[in-house]
A and B are shown apart, each in its own frame.
Chain A
Amino acid sequence: MKYRKWGAALLAAGVVAGLGACASGGGDSSGETKELSILIGTSGDAETQAVQAAADAWAADNNAKVEVVVASDLTQQLSQGFAGGDAPDLFYMSWDQFATYASNGYLEPYAADLPNAGDFYPALSDTFTYDGTFTCAPKDFSTLGLIINTDMWAAAGLTDADIPTDWDSLEAAATKLTTADTVGLSFGLEYARLGVFMNQAGGRLVDGDTVTADSAENLAGLQYVQKLHDEGVLKWPAEVDAGWGGEALGAGKAAMVIEGPWIKGIQGDFPDTNYASYELPAGPGGKSTFTFTNCWGIPANSDTADSAKSLVEYLTADEQQLAFGDAFGVLPSTESAAATYAEQHPENASFVAGNDYAVSPVNFAGSAAVISDFNAQLASLVGGDPKAILASLQEELQAALDEANGN
């Protein structure tokens, strides 16, 4: 019975031992097989499987094992990974977080050394250039287009001649398509959509070292959106109980939405919805759309950087990018592959065409917090004062830009 006496002591000791025995985490296995992990934020099963398949193909030739991890919250998991000292060997780095990560020294600047470094669209390379160094390789890109439910379009008596080419025809089409059950146009109430209208009006947020958010052009863009909403021909997805524009389109709650090539994802949930994609109509300041892109991020000073770089090279090769395009609708980030893609996928040709005049949303270290505040303020756009919203954006963005340049 004496051992009982020590039961508690043993337990206490066990706790101490447990604390001491640090979970050594990642395998520093000196064996030949390299183990890599990729952290991705996926658009769905198709994307996850395609990335895994590509990684497996590379792994088979390189005596490696690659685990594709799907993040439930990419930003949070990345920052926890870095702070926890076990960042993934390769990860999706989104355009809006890129500058923040690069400025904090999180990223290995490897892209300039890639053999295919010169093949990417210059606009995309620029997005992932920090402090003059092309840091990480663009994974793919997407532009925004106007997606139209073709059945509703025909039912409303509209023809190809009515496809919106400018703001007036967009308004006219949206008005015609709006019925009791369906709203003519829908897109998310956020900078990543509304910014397009600001640009189409001729506005810009940043001009060199100066922020120009409170310009008359930006105001005109917001006022146009405000007007469409006031007329009832535009509703945000949340107003029609949809999580995003694609769902609104798929469920028949909206006849037109502004989304990117990822719209393909709705075919699984809404196989009966027929739609077609077009370039966005031009505004008073001409044509404009946003291009969004992710890069393949490699953590700074990573032991596996060389393997990861080789994997990136494989993943960004034209052939592989075209396979991704087939699988989940992203556009290849190299000009040659994108051209091939447009031929193979005429339904997405408009998205590729958009890249000729697309701009990247504003992106410098610290801008993400300001943009998310702008998004929050946009929530009061309906019935609110767009001028005040832009004034506040102007002030904060300028402060953030000064800080970014000061560093």
Chain B
Amino acid sequence: MSKGIRGAEGRYGWLFVSPAILIIGVFLVLPIVLALYVSLSNWNGLGSPLGNSDFIGGGNYAKVLVDTGLAQRDFGTAIRNNLYYVIAVVPLQTALALFLAVQVNRRMLKGRGFFRTAFYFPSVTSSIAITTIFIFLFTSSGAVNQVIGWFGVNGPNWFNDPRGILAPLTGAVPGDGPLGLDWAAWLSGPSVAMCVLIILAVFTTSGTFMLLFLAALQNVSGEIEEAASVDGAGPFRQFFSVTLPMIKPTLFTVLTLGLIGTWQVFDQIYLTGGGDPGKTTLTPAYLAYETSFANLKWGQGAAISFILFAIIVALTLLQRWVLRDRDLGASGVRRQKRALERLKRDAAAGAQR
């Protein structure tokens, strides 16, 4: 009898997962295999890649990574742009989301529901709608420039300003860097236009991550915080020595999600002119698309996709490795230790009462 059920379970198990396996196999695994072939071929976009192309080995990868020329420089530019985007967005969105979560988690705060809704709403609207709105906000005589005009500041022409914000400092750095860009270009910082996209990303993602942090904060039982504050820790210290270590897993999740997400900017670039101004908002994701669909260099475009994939995987692994043992740095560990001891003491005191 039980054997019959086991057998049935086996059949049903496979039956239940088969749609998933089928779809994922056909629309995820198979495409990747095909694209891998295309990235190693000279397919020119006519007809099927199978039968209409020759295997050429790593030439497409070399064009992007090694051979000096426009393809390499475009890729270098895209990497530089996206790197600055990641470096700016990930810490900002994480910090803002955590700050918002802590604030709207306060028991004493009235209208928490309203605040949560307000901060979360941008996250549910589509990237297309939000980007459209941002383009409107950041025109040269637009809403943002009018507001900063009140303070006597003449706002830049955001989406059309290709100047790197660090260029005044680093413009004179000599020498050629990797991927066909000179060091001055590598160090020029995000362009003004890219800064708008950075703000846009922080604006739209902080709500989602706020919810993640909120859930985690809820799990940090109120008693622990009580205990810590009875001990005399101010809210500030309490946050860093008790709360933060406790929601560390969520913090890692948010950082990982942020890192993966920020290397995939595509929609916003598509809408703001495909890298304009001056290719300073070009990203690898968009470059891959453009190389294939507009310049008909399918192999090269697919190669860029795979390089991007490798970058994302490598950085995610690197980040996990870096954050694995060191937690919040040496001082964090010390702080955490102290907090734990205090907690034990307070818990004992509580039990006595």
Contacts and interface: CB of A to CB of B under 8 A. Distances in A.
Interface centre among A16, A19, A238, A399 (most CB of B within 10 A): A238
B16 interface: yes
Nearest to B46: A82
A15 interface: yes
Contacts of A241: 139-142
B163 to A, nearest CB: 8
Nearest to B71: A369
Contact of A379 (B48, B278, B293, B296): B278
A15 B278 contact: no
A40 B202 CA distance: 38
B45 A79 contact: yes
Given A15-B19, A379-B278, A380-B278, A370 B45 contact: no
Given A12-B22, A15-B22, A373 B294 contact: no
A16 B70 contact: no
B160 A79 contact: no
B277 interface: yes
A368 interface: yes
Given A241-B141, A368-B295, A370-B70, A104 B22 contact: no
Highest count of chain A CB atoms <10 Å: which of B22, B139, B295: B295
B278 A76 contact: no
Interface in B1-29: 15-16, 18-19, 22-23, 26
A21 to B, nearest CB: 14
Contacts of A380: 162-163, 278
A200 B220 CA distance: 72
Contacts of B70: 369-370, 373, 396, 399-400
Interface in B283-311: 292-296, 298
A145 to B, nearest CB: 25
A85 B278 contact: no
Interface in A202-243: 236, 238-241
A239 B278 contact: no
Interface in A44-91: 75-76, 79-80, 82-83, 85
Contact of B74 (A80, A83, A373, A400): A373
Contacts of A399: 69-70
A370 B69 CA distance: 10
A79 B293 contact: yes
A82 B275 CA distance: 25
B296 A104 contact: yes
Contacts of A80: 293
Contact of B279 (A100, A104, A370, A376): A376
Interface string B21-53: 011001000000000000000001111100000
A72 to B, nearest CB: 11
Interface in A160-181: none
Interface in A271-299: none
B299 to A, nearest CB: 13
B157 interface: yes
A11 interface: yes
For the residues of B in contact with A, the DSSP-based class is loop
B105 to A, nearest CB: 42
B279 A12 contact: no
Interface string A357-397: 00000000000111001001111100000000000000010
A186 B322 CA distance: 52
A106 interface: yes
**Interface of A: prevailing SS:** helix
B44 A12 contact: no
Given A83-B45, A85-B47, A379-B277, A369 B162 contact: no
B294 A12 contact: no
B18 A12 contact: yes
Interface in B200-224: none
Interface string A88-101: 00000000000011
A100 B277 contact: no
Given A75-B294, A80-B293, A239 B279 contact: no
A300 to B, nearest CB: 8
Contacts of B48: 85
B62 to A, nearest CB: 15
Nearest to A100: B296
Contacts of B142: 241
Nearest to A238: B160
A122 B277 CA distance: 36
Contacts of B16: 8
A104 B70 CA distance: 20
Interface in B45-84: 45-48, 69-70, 73-74
A9 B12 CA distance: 10
Contacts of A118: none
A105 interface: yes
A376 B275 contact: yes
Given A100-B295, A377-B278, A19 B45 contact: no
Interface in B165-217: none
Interface string A283-326: 00000000000000000000000000000000000000000000
Nearest to A104: B44
Contact of B157 (A238, A377, A396): A238
B22 A16 contact: yes
26 contacts: A12-B18, A12-B19, A12-B22, A15-B23, A79-B292, A79-B294, A79-B296, A83-B298, A85-B47, A100-B296, A104-B46, A104-B296, A238-B140, A238-B157, A238-B160, A239-B140, A239-B160, A240-B140, A241-B139, A241-B140, A373-B74, A376-B276, A376-B278, A376-B279, A378-B278, A379-B280
Give me the 4 closest cross-chain CB pairs, A-B, nearest first: A379-B278, A238-B160, A376-B279, A379-B162
